[in-house]
Amino acid sequence: MPFKLVLEKRVKDVPPWYPFATSIGSVVIAFIISGLILKLIGGQPLEVARYFFTAAFGSWAAFSDTLVKATPLILVGLACTVAFKMKLWNIGAEGQFYMGAFFASLVVLLPILPPDSPKIVVIGAMMVMGMIGGAIWGFIPGYLKARFSINEIISTLMLNYVAILWNNFWIFNTWSDAGFQMTPTFPKSAWLTRVTDYARPYKAFMQNTDSGLTRFLESIGLERISGMTLHLGVVFGLIAVVIVWWLLERSRWGYEVALIGDNPHAARYAGLNIARNIILVMMVSGALAGLAGMSEVTGVVHRLQERISPGYGFTGIIIAWLAKLNPFAVVPVAILFGGLILAGREIQPSGLAMMLQGFILFMIISSDVLLRYKIRFSK
Amino acid sequence: MDPIIILHAGLATGTVLLFATIGELITERAGILNLGLEGMMLIGAMAGFSTSLATNNPWLGLVVAMLAGGALSMAHGLVTIHFQADQVVSGLSLTFLGTGIAMVFGEGLTGQNPPTIPVIDIPGLASIPWVGPVFFENHSVLVYVGYLLIPAAWYFIHKTRPGMHLRAIGEKPEAADTMGVNVYRLRYFYVFVGGCLAGLAGATISLAVSPGWYSVQTTSGQGWIAIGLVIFAQWDPLRAAVGSYLFGALRRGILDLQGPPTLFGLTNPLYVNSNWGFFLQMTPYILTILALVLGARAAAKKRIGAPAALGVPYIRGERGL
């Protein structure tokens, strides 16, 4: 070779805009490579790209659907962020999601609360149960790592399969609705409020009056919100973002977590209880993923059923990494991936969205080298 | 519930895990953790299957499957060896990438019937009572290849000079470098070997053990079980073989348990209500975790651990630990 690739270690820190630029560049390159592969197998990448964009962001209704997909992604993205901050590789958000959905559903299915309980009590109980379910599923690998130093990647992954099979047993066997692979629909008191729920009362109100207010509401297109399935879960997600940000960036515990992640030896000398923090971080991470499962059950499907997640837990890993473990950055990244999953459902070949996610993650970690090294060509 | 049938089928199913586990074991011995096994297996399964379909030559399918797995592993090699990226995250992204690419290119392969790897008896050995029918009769050629791979891998790692270099770059790369071993080049090579074996494991599913392409269901998490088995095996090919065949027999036994109406003279609960099978299907995953707990205890007792430099990027001239 006439030229040699040389990596030169950076002496100074990179400017603050640099990580954003490399992230965006990585996503763009991933899209281009995926497009080329699509072209190679005889597809029409530009058509698909246009379809992707219209289906995900083309109208307010489409954007509402995208946000519905982004809601669980925000929560699992945060779940992975918390764990990765301590370099705990929780690959089990998928299983924790399913366990959260299962435990939340117990409130209605067992039932824990009488069927005529007020909505706020039912939803509150389901939130708590969902988080407990996820936390239990995070506790097991956390304990195994703290006590036996069992590799958490393997244990969380194996527990994903166990959680899905566990859910299937109850859906197929105990609570099957007339032999279908789903439970009966939950009562309305277990439904998270959706935007479309607001459309109806306003409509009734508008027919009776002809005021400036109604004309104004019509002019902004109030009827458009009917049919919008965006639900309260997105608010849970945004509140969780702030809480996780405070926990990780402002609290003493967050400092401990970051210290253990960066330098476990120093943390041990500083007298931090590493075993306890491993279990705690795994439980917090699991609880967030469990809340995502609860939000999906109460906000979208309104029952427990098979395949409630098209791999949200795994996408959460990519989201956390793309957001560089910054809780606020999780939101826009989750929206991008929400759109990708929404539009990807109807695109052939079916693996395209998955492949694109793979390329994005791969480009991101490759681009990290640019943050640490200068690349130079020399003779 | 004939034990001979279960053991026989278990050896076939276990061969998939065997190839994947030994491949990963060799990669990890070189100090590189490649969690992308599932993705490389899927790519191998898809590439082997479609090659056999297009050319009517299953052997060519095997070659292409190995090259496909190896090619994908090179992406991991570049990112972890030269760019010093985190091996865990890189391996995970390799899983996504391999799964996605396999799904995209595997579109429309389901339901096709390409020629598969032939099934043969070993003359002479097959007539040994008990042992013959289990080990040497009516198996795919790949199962016999697996038998040969076990001692070969063991001998290579423990008794040969290149094997010593392999262990050195995984235990103390800076010392190996001082001795004139090209750490970077060898690490690339063993990542590639691991990728090839993972691709072979995938093709073993799609062209021999349970022929067909069923998208992601083709591997159904066996790549991850293999990664668990490497730890259980304490990076030793002989133990890896025991673990692989054991898990193979287990996977097979689970399927067979659901068939008969009675078991040991009692009514088979799985036959009456097949939903109990969900609990049975959990066992390989739960046992993988248990195997890790047992492996960890045994390793702690004998002071055997992972290769010392596993997961640590080697940066020439920058530091010597």
What's the maximum distance between 2 C-alpha atoms anywhere in chain B?
A: 69
CA distance A367 to A371: 7
Q: Among residues 217-276 of chain A, which lie with CB inside 8 Å of chain B?
A: none
In percent, the amount of chain B with pLDDT more than 90 equals 60
Q: Which domains does chain B have, with CATH numbers?
A: 3-302 (1.10.3470)
pLDDT tens digits for B129-175?
888 888 998 899 999 999 999 999 999 999 999 999 999 999 999 99
Please tell me if residue A102 touches chain B, with a CB cutoff of 8 Å.
no
pLDDT value of position A224: 66
Does residue A241 lie in a domain region? yes
- In three-state secondary structure terms, B121 is coil
Average pLDDT of span A285-310: 95
Q: Which of B20, B14, B52 is nearest to B35 (CA)?
A: B20
Q: Please, which pLDDT band fits residue A1 given cuts at 50, 70 and 90?
A: very low
Rounded Cα–Cα distance for residues A33 and A35 (Å): 5
* B88, B98, B275: residue with CB nearest A173: B275
User: What is the arithmetic mean of pLDDT over B14-20?
Assistant: 97
Q: Is A358 on the interface with B (CB under 8 A)?
A: yes
Higher pLDDT, B82 or B70: B70
For the ranges A40-49, A176-185, A197-206, B69-78, the maximum mean pLDDT occurs at B69-78
Confidence of residue B321 (pLDDT cuts 50, 70, 90): very low
Cα Rg, chain B, nearest whole Å:
20
From the list B90, B102, B104, the residue facing A365 with the nearest CB is B90
Distance from the B305 Cα atom to the nearest Cα atom in chain A, whole angstroms: 12
- Residue A235 in this model has a pLDDT that exceeds 50: yes
Q: Is residue A218 part of a domain?
A: no
pLDDT band at A208 (very low <50, low <70, confident <90, very high): low
A245 falls within a domain: yes
Number of residues that make up chain A: 379
Task: Note whether A162 contacts B: Cβ–Cβ < 8 A.
Answer: yes
In a domain, A36, yes or no: no
- Token readout for B53 is 């379909």
Partner B contacted by A355 (CB < 8 A): yes
- What is the interface pTM, i.e. ipTM, of the complex? 0.87
Query: Alpha-carbon distance B114 to B212, whole Å?
Result: 8
Mean per-residue pLDDT for A189-212? 71
Q: Which of B30-39, B86-95, B190-199 shows the lowest per-residue confidence on average (mean pLDDT)? A: B86-95
Instruction: Answer yes or no: are the C-beta atoms of B30 and B313 closer than 8 Å.
Output: no
Indicate the residue of A162, A355, A362 with minimum beta-carbon distance to B104: A355
* Residues B228-286: tens digit of each pLDDT: 899 888 899 999 999 999 999 988 888 778 777 777 777 777 777 888 889 988 998 99
Q: State whether B231 and A154 contact (CB < 8 Å).
A: yes
Is pLDDT of B320 > 70?
no
Distance CA A127, CA A129 (A): 6
pLDDT band at B26 (very low <50, low <70, confident <90, very high): very high
Instruction: For residue A368, give the nearest of B85, B94, B103 by CB distance.
Output: B85
pLDDT for A209: 56
Predicted confidence band at A76 (pLDDT cuts at 50, 70, 90)? very high
Cβ contacts from A onto B, under 8 A: 145
pLDDT attached to residue A222: 60
- Cα dist. B8→B131, B140, B204 in Å? 10, 11, 16
The number of folded domains in chain A is 1
Contact of A148 with chain B, judged by CB distance below 8 Å, is answered with yes
Spell out which residues of chain A touch residue B228, defining contact as CB-CB under 8 Å.
Answer: 154, 158
- Report pLDDT for A286: 98
Q: Measured between CA atoms, how close is B136 to chain A, in angstroms?
A: 33
Q: Which domain covers residue A80, as residue numbers? A: 75-194+229-341
Is A358 part of a structural domain of the chain? no
pLDDT confidence of residue A353: 84
β-strand pairing of A373-378 with B139-140: unpaired
Residue A165 lies inside a defined structural domain of this protein: yes
Q: Which of A284, A278, A286, A241 is nearest to A256 (CA)?
A: A278
> Do the Cβ atoms of A285 and A90 come closer than 8 Å?
yes
Alpha-carbon Rg for chain A in angstroms:
23
Which among B105, B278, B286 is the nearest to A168, CB-wise?
B278
Give the CA angle between residues A52, A25, A71 to the nearest 5°.
Answer: 50
Alpha carbons A89 and A153: distance in angstroms, whole number:
6
Q: Which neighbouring-strand residues pair with A178?
A: none
Read off the pLDDT of each residue in A303-329 and give the average, rounded to a whole number: 91
Question: How high is the pLDDT of residue A212?
Answer: 66
Interface of A with B in 334-353 (CB under 8 A): 348-353
Mean pLDDT of chain A: 88
Q: Is residue A223 part of a domain?
A: no
pLDDT at A200: 63
Residue A143 belongs to a domain: yes
Q: Which residue has the tokens 């090179």?
A: B74
Helices (H), chain A: 18-40, 45-57, 60-85, 93-109, 119-148, 152-169, 196-208, 212-219, 233-245, 252-262, 264-269, 274-296, 312-322, 327-344, 352-372
Confidence of residue B51 (pLDDT cuts 50, 70, 90): very high
- Average pLDDT score, chain B: 90
Give the model confidence (pLDDT) of B270-308 as tens digits. Answer: 777 888 889 988 998 999 899 888 877 777 777 667 888
- Mean pLDDT (whole number) for A13-38: 88
